[in-house]
Structure 1
Amino acid sequence: MGRVLPLLALRAFAETGRHGSIKGAAEAMGVTSGAVSQQLRLLEERIAASLFFRTRYGVELTEVGAKVHLSILRAFDQIESGLDALEASCAAQSVTVCTVPSFAASWLVPRLGHFTTLHPEIEVRVEASSALVDLQKRRVDVAIRHGLGDYPGLEAIHLMAPELIPVASPRLLAEGPEINEPGDCLAYPLLQDSDRSDWRLWLKAFGVDGDPRIERGQAFDEDFLLIRAAEAGQGIALVRDIYAREEVASGKLSVALERPWPTEFAYYVVTLPQATERPALARFVEWLIKEAEAPRSTIADDAVEVL
C-alpha cells in the first residue's frame, strides 16, 4: 500500500492489449499514438520486460503481458463503472437537455417554470446549440431534434409537428400588394431558411413552382433570426407556428395568409436506450409530452385575445 502507481502507463497497456493496436488504444484514450508508445516504453523499462511484440496486423501480448493483462483490464473497467455510478448518483436529480436555439427560446424555456413548480427537486440544464449532439459521448440526457425520427441506436418519441406559416410586419403588409393566394407572396422579399428550401416546398405544395423569385432573399440559419428580420419589415418569413405565436399575439407580426402547411419533419424527444429508467429523466420526458399534447389556441385566436 502507498506505492505510486503508473496509472497512465497501465491504462495504455490495458487498452493496447484490448484493441490489439497502439492506434486503437490512442483513440480510446483520446491521446496520440506517440503518447501511448511512450507510456508503454516507460512501463517496460520499469518492469524490465517486454509486454508486446509487433505483427503484420498490429501488436500481440508477450507471455509476460498476457499473464497480467486481464486483471489490469478488469481493474480499469471496475474504476470506470464506479465513476459512472458516482456521477449517476450525483446527477440523479438533474436533467441536461439539448435542442436548437429557436426551439429552446420559443417553446421550451418559457414552459420550464411549470416543470420546476411540479418537480422543484429536479434541476434542468438547457444547452441551446444547432450542432447535432452525440448522446454517446456528451453528458446530455435528452435531445429534442427536428427530423424524420430515424435515429439509429437511440430511443425517439414523437413530440410535435409544427406547421409552416408566412408572417410579416403589419406595416409591410398594409403598404404592399394584397395577398390572397400563396403565389402573391412573391411580390414581397422572401426571408429564407439557410437551405432556401422552406419557401420552395411550401409554394410547391400549393401549386406554385419554377418562379426564379422563390429562392431569392436574405437567408438565416435560425427561425428566431427570421422572425426578427420579419419584425423589422425586411420581408415575409416562413416559420414554424410555435415560434411566431407570441409575436403575432402581441401584434408585432401578422399572418400574411392563412395557409398553414404541415411538413413531414417533426420534433422528437431522443434519449439513449433505457435512459428513461432514471426517475428524474422519466418525469421530464413525461412532462414534455404532456406539454406538447396540451390543447392550444390557434395563432389567430391568440391575436384576438390580446386585442
Structure 2
Amino acid sequence: MPAPTHLNALRAFEAAARHQSFSEAAIELSVTPAAVGQQVRSLEALLGVSLFIRIGSGANRLILTDAAQAALPYIQEGFDRLNFGLACLKDDSRRSSLTVALSPAFASKWLLPRIERFQQAYPTINVLLDTNPRSVDFKSQHFDIGVRYGSGDWVGLIAIHLMDEVIFPVCSPNFRLLQNGILEREALEKSTLIHDLSMAEDHDYPTWRMWLDASGYEHIATGNGLRVTSSAEVLQAAIEGHGLALARSVIVHDDLAAGRLMRPFVDKGLECPLTQAYYLVYKEGFGELAKVRNFRDWLLAEARNFSQVSES
C-alpha cells in the first residue's frame, strides 16, 4: 500500500475509533461514511486483523477489538507528533499563524479589548480566534492554544491557571426599579431575573436559586424570567434594562468599569465564589513553539495585571 493511502487509512481508523462511529468520523474528515468504512477495511486487509466489532442497526456502532484498543494510543501519539512537526515548520516561517480556542463570552468581553497589545508586541504573528461555543477537541481540530473554563484537569493537555472569579447580580444604572441607585428588597421581588444557561450542564455552576437562598431571599421564586444561552448576551440584556443578571466577575468587569452595568445592592459581599476557573491550555510540546510561548506569557501577564486591578 502506498504511504499516503496508508496514512489516510490510519487517520480514518483513528477518527472512527475516537467517535466509535463511521458517520461521525466522516463529518470530521469531510468525506462520506462509506469512504471511512472502505479505508478501515483496507487497513484490516493489509494487517490481517479486525479492528472493529460492528453492532446495531446497519452496524452503525463500533467497538474496538483488543488489538485495536492496544494500538490506538500509539497511533494517536504518532498523529500528535506529525501535527507538532507541522506546527514547528509553520513556527519558523516568516509570518506565523496562531489559532486560539475560547468561548464567545470570554473573547468578546475580556480578550478582544486587550488583544491589540499582543498584536503590537508581536506583529508577525497572525492570530485567529476560534469562538465555537462547543467544547473543542484538541485531537481532531488544530488549535495551538486555548482558554478553557473548568477544573483544570483535561487529559493530554497542559493546563495553567489563569484567573478565578465570583458571581453577583448586576443591572443597568437606568433599571426602572432602582431607587437612588439601590435595589430594595421589595423591588427585587418584582424584578425580572435573567438566567445564564451557557453552563446549564454544570451542576456546580451557581444559579439564581443558589444565590437567592445564600443571600436570604429564599422566598423569591425563580420559575419565571428571561433565559439566555450566552453569557455575553445575558449581560447585553441587562445593559438594555431587561432585568437583573447574575454576572461572572471576569466577564462583567469592563462593563462595570465603563458604567454600562452596576451592582445594585449596598452589601457587595453578596457574591458566590465559583469552584471552577479559567485555564490556559495547549497540547504537550506546543509550549516549546515560539508563537505559543509568546502568547502564553503575554496572556498570563495580562491576567496578573487584571487580577491586581480587580482586587484594588
Normalised by the size of structure 2, how large is the TM-score? 0.69
Relative to structure 1, the CA distance from residue 57 to residue 203 in structure 2 (aligned partners, 3 Å threshold; closer, same or farther) is closer
Is the contact between residue 96 and residue 124 of structure 1 (CA under 8 Å) also seen in structure 2? yes
Deviation at 1:175, TM superposition (A): 4.9
Counterpart residue type for residue 172 of structure 1:
F
Query: Mapping of 1:165-176 within 5 angstroms?
Result: 165-173=168-176, 175=178
What CA distance in whole angstroms lies between the structure 1 residues aligned with 2:50 and 2:309? 69
By how many angstroms is 1:51 displaced? 5.6
1:263 to 260, 268, 274: 274
| Structure 1 gap segments, 5+ residues each | 42-49, 59-76, 302-307
Aligned residue for 1:120? 123
The match for 2:192 is 189
Partner amino acid, structure 1, of 2:221 = R
| CA positional deviation for 1:176 | 6.2
User: Unaligned 5+ residue runs, structure 2?
Assistant: 54-76
The percent identity for this pair of structures is 26
- In the TM superposition, 1:98-137 aligns within 5 A as 98-137=101-140
Paired position in structure 2 for 1:72? none
Contact 2:195–2:208 (Cα < 8 Å) also in 1? yes
Pairwise CA RMSD of aligned residues? Answer: 4.1
Task: Measure, in 2, the Cα distance between the counterparts of 1:285 and 1:158.
Answer: 11
Asked whether the 8 Å contact 1:97–1:127 carries over to 2, the reply is yes
Give the deviation of 1:54 after TM superposition.
7.4
Q: Distance in 1 between matches of 2:263 and 2:13?
A: 64
Superposed CA offset, 1:132-177 (max 9, x none):
0011111101121111222122211111012212111222255569
Greater Rg, structure 1 or structure 2?
Answer: 1
* Secondary structure of the structure 2 residue equivalent to 1:213: coil
CA distance in 1, matches of 2:290, 2:107: 23
Within 2, Cα distance between the matches of 1:56 and 1:225? 46
Name the counterpart of 1:239.
247
- Give per-residue Cα distances to partners, 1:31-51, cap 9 Å, x unaligned: 53652378689xxxxxxxx96
Residue identity matched to 1:148:
S
Contact 2:171 2:261 survives alignment (8 Å): yes
Structure 1 residues 122 and 297: CA distance shift in structure 2, 3 A: same
The structure-2 alpha-carbon separation of the partners of 1:123 and 1:13, relative to structure 1 and needing over 3 Å to count, comes to: closer
CA distance in 2, matches of 1:103, 1:57: 40
From the superposition, tell whether residues 286 and 220 of structure 1 become closer, same or farther in structure 2 (CA, over 3 Å). same
**What is the CA-CA distance between 1:14 and the residue it aligns to?**
7.3
TM-score w.r.t. structure 1 length? 0.70
Greater helix fraction, Structure 1 or Structure 2: 1
Aligned pairs, number:
265
Q: 1:84 to 1:28 in 2, by over 3 A?
A: farther
